[in-house]
């Protein structure tokens, strides 16, 4: 049985190819800075959008044609879907995938039944992982869809919602361990508020931190050594999510002594909804040693919600890959396509087009970023720009040798600063264009 009989393994055909079902840039074996593109990019397909997304939006139901899916909530349908998913990921050639517990297995009448369903599907996931070699990038638990989580999970005013979420994450961690997952992600879908008048923010934050500490403890207990991630998003579905951006997450992790245990999983569309570029968020996380993984997508800059579009802008992918290379590249993380086809792109083949486009855009961004680094002109400009910090006064200041008094003395003598130099933004933007 095959769900995509007309599709073979997507080949690499090079930049001249006009085949929309081939890669023009992503050649997994090709070496860039001494490492294969496969290992640089660690592409990952997400189960939720790609295998569960139907294209529903607030103004209409799903449109997706998924002939392999009978639309039921049965275990059989769930298991069959796993086979299709792995056929897809395998033909695409992505080495990783990611999922929430409730994406892969139906929620049962009770927690016990839900756990059993999950176990039954995990068996198939494991089989398919072994058959194809595809690996689990990270697991996670859906703590936002079920109405029990309407007011949040770890931050709910209902303490049993906290307890239920704990049980659910426990199971998800076990399953992630079972499947050899390289990480585990917390995205706090409804961990925030709709209205401050009815919210005790301090208590909710305390509970959120408590929850994460218990999770860290449990991972240790069961020997899960994968990387924990926290994924920022400023809003939607809540009016305000506590983990609103990289800085808010880092502040929270520092405040509650969790920074040793979690890194950031950054998403482009969440960055821009928070008023930052993805490059900013990645640079900030990298500078803090907390750049873990990326959810590779893009938003529409004129829309105010999370459109989770596939990334095709090569300026964006170049910025992402340049920043990753700067901070040493991906370790446990990946380039995870937390992205969905448009509601109007409802045919199965659109799933291939979408992922191929995203992968090629990132492969191209990687090559451009490496070319920029190899060429050295940009890095040279940067080195020059900060040169005053590399010797004499600048170096002394950085070495901690100065106080306000000593600096005042120097500047009273000099009277004015050495003239500034142009920031050269336009020239640098042109320079970047020469690599495109």
Query: Is residue 270 annotated as involved in ligand binding?
Result: yes
Strands of 66-151 (E only): list them: 96-100, 135-140
Q: Which does 314 bind (CB under 5 to 8 A by kind): a copy of itself, Co ion, none?
A: a copy of itself
- Any known ligand binding at 213? no
Task: Compare residues 232 and 365 and give the one whose CB is closer to Co ion.
Answer: 232
CB of 182 to a copy of itself, least distance (A): 21
> Considering only residues 241-270, where is the footprint of Co ion by CB under 5 A?
267, 269
| Residue 179 interacts with which of a copy of itself, Co ion, none, CB < 5 to 8 Å by class | none
Using the minimum distance from each CB to Co ion, give the nearer residue, 59 or 197. 59
Strand partners, 265: 293
Taking the C-alpha atoms of residue 82 and residue 328, their distance in angstroms, rounded to an integer, is 34
Quote the CA–CA distance of 302 and 183 in Å, as a whole number.
Answer: 33
* 174/231 with CB nearer Co ion: 231
In whole angstroms, the minimum distance from the beta carbon of 127 to a copy of itself comes to 26
CB of 114 to a copy of itself, least distance (A): 10
Nearer to Co ion by Cβ, of 58 and 223: the residue is 58
Least separation in angstroms between CB 179 and a copy of itself: 18
Q: Which helix (H) or strand (E) element contains residue 354?
A: helix 348-375
User: Which of the following is catalytic: 101, 103, 283, 360?
Assistant: 103
Q: Is the dihedral of CA 278, 279, 283, 289 positive or negative?
A: positive
Residue 308 found at the interface with Co ion (CB under 5 A): yes
390 annotated among ligand-binding-site residues: no
Closest distance of CB 173 from Co ion, Å: 19
Known catalytic residue: 100? yes
Contacts of residue 334, Cβ cutoff 8 Å, sequence gap at least 6: 41, 42, 43, 44, 96, 137, 182, 293, 294
Q: Which does 150 bind (CB under 5 to 8 A by kind): Co ion, a copy of itself, none?
A: a copy of itself
Using rule CB under 5 A, residue 103 touches Co ion: no
The answer to whether 306 is annotated as binding is yes
Closer residue to a copy of itself, CB minimum distance, 151 or 367: 151
User: Which contiguous run of DSSP H or E holds residue 252?
Assistant: helix 246-255
Smallest gap, in angstroms, from Cβ of residue 67 to a copy of itself?
14
280 is in an annotated binding site: no
What's the angle, vertex CA 94, arms to CA 289 and CA 246, rounded to 5? 25
The answer to whether 283 is annotated as binding is: no
* Binding-site partner at residue 255 among a copy of itself, Co ion, none, CB < 5 to 8 Å by type: a copy of itself
Q: Which two tokens stand for residue 189?
A: 């879908």
Contacts of 31 (CB under 8 A, 6+ apart): 37
CA-nearest of 135, 92, 97 to 359 is 92
Catalytic residue, from 40, 49, 100, 322: name it: 100
Q: Measured from the CB atom, is 127 or 236 closer to a copy of itself?
A: 236
Q: Which helix (H) or strand (E) holds 187?
A: none
Count the residues of the shown chain that bind Co ion, applying the rule CB under 5 A. Answer: 6
**Rounded-to-10 torsion of CA 402, 406, 407, 410:** -130
The answer to whether 355 touches 45, Cβ cutoff 8 Å, is yes
308 labeled part of a ligand binding site? yes
Cβ neighbours of residue 77 under 8 Å, at least 6 residues apart? 69, 70, 71
Residue of 128, 281, 306, 360 that binds Co ion (CB under 5 A):
306
Out of Co ion, a copy of itself, none, what residue 269 binds, judged by CB under 5 to 8 A for its kind, is Co ion
Distance from C-alpha of 250 to C-alpha of 266, rounded to nearest angstrom: 12
Q: Does 101 bind Co ion (CB under 5 A)?
A: no
Give the closest residue to 271 by CA, choosing from 258, 287, 255, 282: 282
From the annotation, which residues make up the binding site for Mg(2+)?
231, 267, 270, 295, 306, 308, 338
Q: Which residues are catalytic?
A: 100, 103
- Binding site as annotated, residues: 231, 267, 270, 295, 306, 308, 338
């Amino acid at each position: 049985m095959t769900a995509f009989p007309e599709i073979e393994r997507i080949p690499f055909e090079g930049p001249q190819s006009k085949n929309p079902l081939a890669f023009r840039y992503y050649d997994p074996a090709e070496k860039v800075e001494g490492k294969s593109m496969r290992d640089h990019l660690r592409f990952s397909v997400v189960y939720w959008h790609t295998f569960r997304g139907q294209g529903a939006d607030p103004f209409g139901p799903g449109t997706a044609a998924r002939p392999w899916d009978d639309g039921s909530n049965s275990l059989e349908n769930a298991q069959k879907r796993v086979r299709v998913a792995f056929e897809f990921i395998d033909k695409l050639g992505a080495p990783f995938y990611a999922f929430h517990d409730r994406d892969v297995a139906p929620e049962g009448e009770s927690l016990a039944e839900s756990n059993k369903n999950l176990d039954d599907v995990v068996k198939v996931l494991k089989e398919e992982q072994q058959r194809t070699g595809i690996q689990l990038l990270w697991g996670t638990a859906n703590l936002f869809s079920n109405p029990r989580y309407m007011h949040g999970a770890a931050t709910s005013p209902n303490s049993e919602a906290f307890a239920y979420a704990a049980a659910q994450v426990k199971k998800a961690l076990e399953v992630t361990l079972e499947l050899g997952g390289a990480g585990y992600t917390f995205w706090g879908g409804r961990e925030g508020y709709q209205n401050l008048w009815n919210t005790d923010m301090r208590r909710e934050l305390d509970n959120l931190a408590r929850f994460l500490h218990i999770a860290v403890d449990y991972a240790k207990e069961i020997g899960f050594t994968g990387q924990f991630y926290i994924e920022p998003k400023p809003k939607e579905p809540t009016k305000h999510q506590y983990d609103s951006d990289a800085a808010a997450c880092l502040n929270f992790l520092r405040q509650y002594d969790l920074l040793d245990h979690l890194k950031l999983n950054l998403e482009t569309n969440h960055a821009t909804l928070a008023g930052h570029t993805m490059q900013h968020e990645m640079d900030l996380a990298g500078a803090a040693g907390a750049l873990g993984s990326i959810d590779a997508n893009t938003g529409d800059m004129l829309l105010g919600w999370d459109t989770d579009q596939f990334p095709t802008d090569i300026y964006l992918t170049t910025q992402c890959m340049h920043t990753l290379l700067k901070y040493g590249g991906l370790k446990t993380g990946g380039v995870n396509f937390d992205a969905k086809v448009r509601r109007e792109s409802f045919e199965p083949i659109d799933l291939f087009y979408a992922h191929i486009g995203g992968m090629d855009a990132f492969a191209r961004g990687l090559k451009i970023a490496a070319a920029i680094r190899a060429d050295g002109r940009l890095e040279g400009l940067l080195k020059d720009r900060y040169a005053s910090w590399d010797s004499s006064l600048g170096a002394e200041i950085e070495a901690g040798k100065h106080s306000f008094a000593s600096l005042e003395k120097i500047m009273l003598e000099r009277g004015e600063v050495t003239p500034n130099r142009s920031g050269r933004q336009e020239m640098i933007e042109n320079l970047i264009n020469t690599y495109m």
